[in-house]
Chain A
Amino acid sequence: SQTIHQWPATLVQPVGSPLSLECTVEGTSNPNLYWYRQAAGRGLQLLFYSVGIGQISSEVPQNLSASRPQDRQFILSSKKLLLSDSGFYLCAWSRGQPGNQPQHFGDGTRLSIL
């Protein structure tokens, strides 16, 4: 069976510090990978998705970047965090085809910027 791991679970960072959140998937190959952000009490906003190694699409211009150095590894980064980067970050994976495949989510990272 497939599993998705996301870490850390919680993170407190000062403004201006760098960020690296990691997500890995096990039990499948060539998954689609996604990073979402959820503001308090709101729905999910897609930040980045990837359909293959080195292929990253950005949905929202912002202070963050994503990378996919390996097939089942997806990393969310920032060089300098802003207060507005606080939120709940979720990584997800899905099979590429067909389109009825659901996205499966990790447990999320609660990021607080001080």
Chain B
Amino acid sequence: AQKITQTQPGMFVQEKEAVTLDCTYDTSDQSYGLFWYKQPSSGEMIFLIYQGSYDEQNATEGRYSLNFQKARKSANLVISASQLGDSAMYFCAMREGGSNYKLTFGKGTLLTVNP
């Protein structure tokens, strides 16, 4: 079974609107971390936001927020006020409790922001 599932291969959003990118995960660990990365067409991976399994509040970083629903094992990324520069691939990743090193990545969602 996949550990990270991103069910939306592609998403479209109008500039200045909000968009939610879905991510569900599968782990039996109590301690784990969830990360979101952005990959523009140039290829570099840019860290956006982190949520720990014991964090009681949803993480926020500027226009990015993470809608963490632990019981549902989901960690959706919300981008508010979309900008043209947000067009990119977005990857959800998980670090499980047994490893401080390994990140398991989902297959990604391609977000296109329309003017």
Contact = CB atoms under 8 A, between A and B. Distances in A.
Nearest to B45: A105
Nearest to B100: A99
A9 to B, nearest CB: 9
B12 interface: no
Interface of A: 32, 34, 42-46, 49, 51, 57, 59, 88, 90, 92, 94, 96-100, 102-108, 110
Contacts of A102: 35, 47, 50
A34 B103 CA distance: 10
Contacts of A90: 43, 45
Contacts of B33: 99-100
Size band of the interface chain B makes with A:
20 to 34
Interface in B79-100: 91, 93, 95, 97, 100
Interface of B: 4, 31, 33, 35, 37, 42-47, 50, 52, 91, 93, 95, 97, 100-103, 105-108
A98 B33 CA distance: 11
Given A44-B93, A100-B52, 19 more contacts: A32-B101, A34-B101, A42-B108, A44-B103, A49-B101, A49-B102, A51-B101, A90-B45, A98-B100, A99-B31, A99-B33, A99-B100, A100-B33, A102-B35, A102-B47, A103-B35, A104-B47, A107-B44, A108-B43
